[in-house]
Structure 1
């Protein structure tokens, strides 16, 4: 499988090593709870993790493929802008969880 990918703007990108390029799902502004309560962006309780969609993965990434939703800490990220769109560059080890139909419950996810 090739590590080449194209961003939404069509720019070819080759991710290196264990890097994952993601696009965040939503803004960092206000959000709603499951009950419909509006939570302002200024309300912070502890560290809040963010979801994003993987749009590119490096050749050494083992647990993530393009299209997976990943959970990561927004404080530990590097942002990049490509053709006016914001992306986040992560290492695979900085991803806390992967949400995809292909994920099996018997895998350990440990690094050897």
Structure 2
């Protein structure tokens, strides 16, 4: 378990319904391309989705478990601060894809909800 996961494990929150609490993987600042070129935060992009790690899920969430990486639209988010760290609260339907090792073990006739 990493230090980030240790901090996330003791969060004083019980999620309801189909809510998913995620920790974003990087800030809103500058990024690097795969070639190593620095892209400033002010650069204009089309609609860009973001990856985050699920740290908590509500009882009615069917496709995501804590620890999964999820793809979501950062424009449609609600932010919350817990223990001095920023998190994003989403509904399960707002998650576009899930990337997790357990997904690779799914049978070929799965519902297609995963990357």
Per the normalisation by structure 1, the TM-score is 0.86
Show CA shifts across 1:31-76 (max 9, x none): 1111111111111221111110000000100000000000000000
Aligned twin of 1:3: none
Relative to total residues, which structure has the larger strand share, 1 or 2?
A: 1
Q: Given the alignment of the two structures, is residue 95 of structure 1 paired with residue 95 of structure 2, yes or no?
A: yes
User: How many residues are paired up?
Assistant: 105
Q: 2: distance between equivalents of 1:58 and 1:107?
A: 22
Structure 1, unmatched stretches of 5+, are 1-5
Aligned twin of 1:79: 79
Structure 2, unmatched stretches of 5+, are 1-5
Q: 1: distance between equivalents of 2:9 and 2:81?
A: 11
> Secondary structure of the equivalent of 2:53?
strand
Q: 2: distance between equivalents of 1:97 and 1:46?
A: 19
Q: 2: distance between equivalents of 1:80 and 1:106?
A: 37
Which segments of structure 1 move beyond 6 Å, counting only runs of 4 or more?
Answer: none
| C-alpha displacement of 1:109 | 4.3
| C-alpha displacement of 1:95 | 0.2
1:108 to 101, 106, 111: 111
Relative to total residues, which structure has the larger helix share, 1 or 2?
A: 2
Per the normalisation by structure 2, the TM-score is 0.84
Q: For structure 1, which segment, 97-106 or 39-48, has the greater mean C-alpha deviation from structure 2 after superposition?
A: 97-106
